[in-house]
Amino acid sequence: MSPKGKKKVSLTTKIIMASVLGLIIGAIVGPWMEKIQFIGTIWIRLIQMSIVALVMTSVASAIGNIESASAGKMSFHTFKYIILFTLCSAFLGLGLSYLFKPGVGITLDAAVEATTNQLSDVSVIDTLVNFVPTNIFSAMSSGSTIQCIIFSLIFGIAAGGYARATGRNNVLLLIKDINGIIMRIIEMVMKLAPIGIFCLLAPVVGTTGFDVIFPMLKFLLALLVGDIIQFLIYCPLTAFRCGVNPLKMPKKYAKMSIMALTTTSSAVCLPTKMEDSVTKFGVSRRVADFTGPITMTMNSCGAVQCYVLAIMFMAQASGIALTNVEILTGVLLACMMCMGTIVVPGGSVVVYTFFATALGLPLESVAILIGIDWFAGALRTLMNVDVDVLVGMLVSKDLGEFDADVYNDKKEVKYVQYVEA
């Protein structure tokens, strides 16, 4: 067969294969595998070098473009529900981390000894004050990620306002281009992901044995239970607010939910989500066209739940007892990261590394999470997409544009892209 005729193996498949090999070979060879850990460490550092720039440009670009593109009642209602759902899902993830304790059972002794918790012995007031940078260049050079995010939020709002007032959006375009270049760098690094993950996971298994398997399964179980809880709470409450029967929702969700589970991509599900929102859930075309793209980027209930669980997993696996201030900081970081979703291949590697760096947690635990990330990604995407539709329903109801007849299958409509008159 010619090279052109060969089926290309996806990066996700390669990562899963590398994870399985890491588990098996690490268990067979044992502690000797620690000798190759430096290769995985180099790979992680290649990701770390781009994190600050990637996060800053992603957040600034997302906020700047939204500020300049939308205003008024629809924006207010959309972001009201985005914030509400995101916070609820984040704290649900926190509760599940205490219930399931997914990281308990793994001991990363070497990592714990090398880790210095960056936020210990700091009061809540001091933490809030330290969120605001005095010098953004100092914050960037020292890797103060929270300060960089705060600056990016303010910069994005200001850049959006400037573009709206002057009609010149050169700065926003430049930020978008820089973001594209940084993502290209990470895409290049991610091609080495199978090697990096193998060289990180094999040493962990080599020193801890198969004890690492059970915590990985507990993490996935916690995510699944979280998805079920969110569905059982959010759907009835939304249906009650809209005056419709929640029992009809599962059938209406079937198509987009299957797509979410199989593609693990909110972007791929976007056209189906927007069409079904109008034709099955009674969302107005105008609202669907506005909330669809925004919620895809900023309303990630499945992701924020997963991120909070991941933070607690890494801490528990390392034997680090986070303080209340550190936990709340982690929850806030998880919510902020969902504001501008990183859409590079294997983006979770970047997000998990970001959390570990920001909270002073060992990077070895990132490899364990990446080993199961395809399965976690399916559960994340499922909830991300499903809750996006609920936001559209609630916004339509608040604006008096919700069509109960469409929801109740008494009226048939076709999805037509809305054009502002």
State the pLDDT at residue 123: 52
**Could you tell me if 90 and 312 are in contact, meaning their C-beta atoms sit under 8 angstroms apart?**
no
**3-state secondary structure string, 186-210?**
HHHHHCCHHHHHHHHHHHHHHHHHH
pLDDT per position as a tens digit, 281-340: 999 888 887 788 778 777 889 999 999 999 999 998 888 888 888 888 889 888 877 765
Answer yes or no: is 413 within a domain.
no
N-terminal to C-terminal alpha carbon distance within the chain: 56
Structurally, the chain folds into a number of domains equal to 1
Please tell me which residue, 377 or 350, carries the higher pLDDT value.
Answer: 377
Answer yes or no: is 190 within a domain.
yes
Answer yes or no: is 417 within a domain.
no
Answer yes or no: is 171 within a domain.
yes
CATH code of the domain containing 125: 1.10.3860
Distances (CA, A) of 1 to 4, 7, 58, 73: 8, 10, 42, 59
Name the H helices within 243-363.
Answer: 249-263, 266-279, 285-298, 301-318, 324-337, 347-359
Q: Domain range for residue 206?
A: 11-407
Answer yes or no: is 277 within a domain.
yes
pLDDT per position as a tens digit, 13-25: 787 788 888 888 8
Split at pLDDT 50, 70, 90, the class of 84 is very high
Answer yes or no: is 412 within a domain.
no
Instruction: Provide the whole-model pTM.
Output: 0.72
Lowest mean pLDDT among 178-182, 252-256, 289-293: 289-293
Answer yes or no: is 98 within a domain.
yes
Across 224-232, average pLDDT: 95
Residue type, 271: P
Answer yes or no: is 421 within a domain.
no
